A and B are shown apart, each in its own frame.
Chain A
Amino acid sequence: MAPHLVVKNLTKRYSSRPVLDIDELTIDKEEVLAVIGPNGSGKSTLLRLIAHLEKPDGGSIEFAGGNGVKDGFGIRRRLAVVFQESLLFTGTVFDNIAYGLRVRKTARGEVKKRVGEAAEVFGISHLLERPSNLLSGGEAQRTSLARAFVLEPELLLLDEPMASLDPPTKESLLADLNDVLEKMKATVIYVTHELTEAMILADRCAFIEGGRIIQVGTPQEVMASPVNRKVADFVGVENILKGRIAGSSDGLTRVKVNGSEIEVINHVSSTEKVWVLIRPENVTITLEESGNTSARNRFSGIVKNTLDLGVLHRVVVDCGFPMVVFVTKRSVEEMSLQAGKRVWISFKATGVHVISREGERV
């Protein structure tokens, strides 16, 4: 199947500063693509260019079945954008949701029907007659989403729609949005700097940094196998250790980290200098060295500190290199984990991800 949207060699500069340089990015029909990256990485600029709200300096953005429509207005009629701010117009919630339909000269009866349906989907039917300036943040953003979804656009562009909401409001809207996206089979580009949102909503993630796409893959792939240190930092890999390849045998690669050797599965890169990435949830703590385990990596260490995060505790163990481990509150109590306690940590060779340090600016 041909991609629904193809972005090629897209560049944008503000003054003389390059802010975007995308070689290629595609999105399939009915796919939810999350564009993730830190603030200032160029993701919102990318979205504005795709929405034809700004002109690129170079490159192309092509819709499938464009029927030769090239002008900004013609293309904007095929899509809808929701921004971080709800940006509601003066008038009622009904007026706001109806805006896009009215500018398309949709018949009055049809407007009423579709606005009612969209309000129902986003749980704001009871607010239709309320003036937009008297809505809470969550209600306003639901209105803003309904205003875009009611158009049933060929492409929905959502630019950090949850970023200004408080956590409970965000959680509830995220769950509803997930349901809506599954039911409506919409094609969506979802810009966010929150990995959890991408994990919940997206089929694929494109990580953008410094205006360039660094990695594209399923959210799980990006989480488990970040391609460089920046992606690793962003996706919350807490254990990032500097190492050197020491050798390989039987499909296992040994990486030297601060005098200790960590075994990694099938590292194929020829590079010597590497980053060793271990997610805290892949590490286990025991009080004794257990021989009955499949974990290839076992190290003795001293607990440096523990931090209560609620259900979980963040425990840092010094085993020649610092290792962050997430442990349940109950285990911390049962094992009396506190600073100075001697423990063993273990993790599987498959739970380690290795990336090159060569040529990387760190």
Chain B
Amino acid sequence: MDLLLDGVKQAFILIFTGDSLVVEATLRSLQTSGSAVLISLLLGVPLGLLLALARFPGRNLIVAIINAGMGLPPVVVGLVVAILLWRSGIFGFLGLMYTVAAMVIAQVIIALPLVVGLTLTAIQQLNPKLRLQALALGASKSQMLVMLVKEAKLTMLAAVIAGFGAIISEVGAVLMVGGNISGQTRVLTTAIVEQVGRGDFSRALALSFILLAITFTATYALTLYQQKGVGVWRRTS
């Protein structure tokens, strides 16, 4: 218990004194996971829409792969990305190993199936006639797709929450492809592992509290946005 209380105390001290390791790891975690979520959304939402609306040979196979991908072990993703980006690997010439870009790639691979799968489910749960209704009121195909995304917003925000939560808290993949290099690729989770290895539990706890606080704050903000206007309106008559 003393260790926990000491950890909380340490966390406040480290945060308010602007400890360089804490600031660096926090900012890099936000940068890496934020970029990965954004890229996953940019790729995943159109792909989810395509899978929900189009019928083509091999579609069911892709859906099955996406569903399986939702439970991908991050450490396996890290291993595969590491093999591909290794100097002798297929993409070794890019020189991305042990960079933030490599960590973003690994995190996108983890988050993408969640975004695609939840977008697909969200769109398929909508009344299919909504599409016809939008077109029948003069919407172009792209305007109709925007309408569908708006209608599926609640479930798709769940995808963002799930994706962000999954990647900011994972350690296996980023450690393998990032290497936890101080000043370059150290993020909160890898820093925690490092501090535990050194026996500095106070610092490890402080970093863990910060990680928890970030995860909770991001999730809370997204939840507030998601729930905005849901069930708060009351009839006046």
Contact = CB atoms under 8 A, between A and B. Distances in A.
Interface of A: 48, 51, 53, 73, 76-77, 79-81, 83, 85, 87, 89-90, 99-100, 103-104, 130-131, 134, 147-148, 151, 157
Contacts of B127: 85, 87
Given A90-B151, A131-B233, A103 B137 contact: yes
B129 interface: yes
A83 B137 contact: no
Q: Binding site of B, secondary structure by majority: helix, strand, loop or mixed?
A: helix
Contact of B143 (A80, A83, A90, A103): A103
B132 A53 contact: yes
Contacts of B132: 48, 53, 81, 83
Contacts of A148: 137
Given A104-B138, A131-B229, A83 B129 contact: yes
A99 B138 CA distance: 9
Contacts of B141: 73
B137 A51 contact: no
A288 to B, nearest CB: 59
A100 B138 contact: yes
A53 B136 contact: yes
B130 interface: yes
A147 B151 contact: no
Given A87-B130, A131-B229, A99 B135 contact: no
A80 B135 CA distance: 9
Contact of B133 (A87, A130, A134, A151): A87
A83 B141 CA distance: 19
B129 A76 contact: no
Given A76-B136, A87-B127, A103-B143, A134 B233 contact: yes
Q: Binding site of A, secondary structure by majority: helix, strand, loop or mixed?
A: mixed
B143 to A, nearest CB: 5
B139 interface: yes
A89 B151 contact: yes
B225 to A, nearest CB: 14
B166 interface: no
B148 to A, nearest CB: 10
A73 B133 contact: no
Given A83-B129, A87-B127, A76 B135 contact: yes
A51 B136 CA distance: 7
Contacts of B143: 103
A266 to B, nearest CB: 46
Closest 6 CB pairs of A and B: A81-B136, A100-B137, A87-B133, A77-B138, A103-B139, A103-B143
B147 interface: yes
Contacts, number: 60
**Size class of the B contact interface (CB-based, 8 Å):** 20 to 34
Contacts of B129: 83, 85, 87
B138 A83 contact: no
A285 to B, nearest CB: 49
A134 B137 CA distance: 22
Interface of B: 127, 129-130, 132-141, 143, 147, 150-151, 153, 229, 233, 235
B66 to A, nearest CB: 26
Nearest to B232: A131
Nearest to A54: B132
7 contacts: A53-B132, A77-B138, A81-B132, A81-B136, A99-B139, A103-B140, A147-B137
B138 A103 contact: yes
B233 A80 contact: no
B151 A73 contact: no
Nearest to B130: A87
A99 B136 CA distance: 11
Contact of A80 (B136, B150, B151, B229): B136
B137 A151 contact: yes
Contacts of A130: 233
A73 B233 contact: no
B7 to A, nearest CB: 44
A151 B129 CA distance: 20
Contacts of B139: 99-100, 103
Given A53-B132, A81-B133, A131-B229, A89 B150 contact: yes
Given A51-B136, A100-B138, A134-B233, 16 more contacts: A53-B136, A76-B135, A76-B138, A81-B137, A87-B130, A89-B134, A90-B150, A90-B151, A99-B134, A99-B137, A100-B137, A100-B139, A103-B134, A103-B140, A104-B138, A157-B136
A134 B237 CA distance: 12
Find the residue from B127, B133, B140 having the highest chain A CB count within 10 A.
B133
Nearest to A157: B136
Contacts of A89: 130, 134, 147, 150-151
A276 to B, nearest CB: 44
Nearest to B154: A90
A79 B139 CA distance: 11
Contacts of B147: 89
Contacts of A53: 132, 135-136
Contacts of B138: 76-77, 80, 100, 103-104, 151
Contacts of B140: 73, 103
Nearest to A153: B138
Nearest to B133: A87
Contacts of B133: 81, 83, 87
Contacts of A151: 137-138
Contacts of B151: 89-90
